[in-house]
Amino acid sequence: METSSLMEQILSKDNLNTAYLQVVRNKGAAGVDGMEYTELAEYLLENGEIIKEQMRTRKYKAQPVRRVEIPKPDGGIRKLGVPTVVDRFVQQAVAQVLSPIFEEEFHEHSYGFRPNRSAQQAVVKALEMMNDGHNWIVDIDLEKFFDTVNHDKLMTIVGRTIKDGDVISILRKFLVSGIMIEEEYEESIIGTPQGGLCKA
């Protein structure tokens, strides 16, 4: 698949409309700017063309994510990053175009965080494999994986498939947009925030 001119696909009317509907359907909390998902339609009517031009010219500026800590069942804490509603809209538009490209590269027995795949399907596949004589199942959870992703290595891997520099630029901007912890800004020099689409 040709991946050197993806930005126009991302900015197509149909793709942006689908992204808007998905963000509204997902609802979700406000980011650092306080904008609610219910305010997105009016905001895009006034600023949609500006956002598109900023994305075309690499001038779009992603906002820092808002840090939220959620208790984990094991007693630990999961740190989520809540993007602004506008950033979620842009991320959704990008993800809708990139996801099908990367889907072709994923292992057929990978079920996590993928469209039209579920834990139930993984269980069914494991049972099939056991019935075929495979007696071992390995369950791996990489501790703090999202918190330790190296940005340069990630972008190198993405760049092997995605050749559109405008798309690479916006992905990097989301990675380095920073984190707001209460009223304090923290740079994001490593990791991808859980809660945004960049983790997908």
Q: 129-177, pLDDT tens digit by residue?
A: 999 999 887 777 788 888 899 999 999 999 999 999 999 999 999 999 9
* Cα distance between residue 91 and residue 93, in whole Å: 5
Q: Is the pLDDT of residue 42 over 80?
A: yes
Is the pLDDT higher at 54 or at 147?
Answer: 54
| Cβ–Cβ < 8 Å for 181, 77 | no
- What pLDDT sits at residue 67? 93
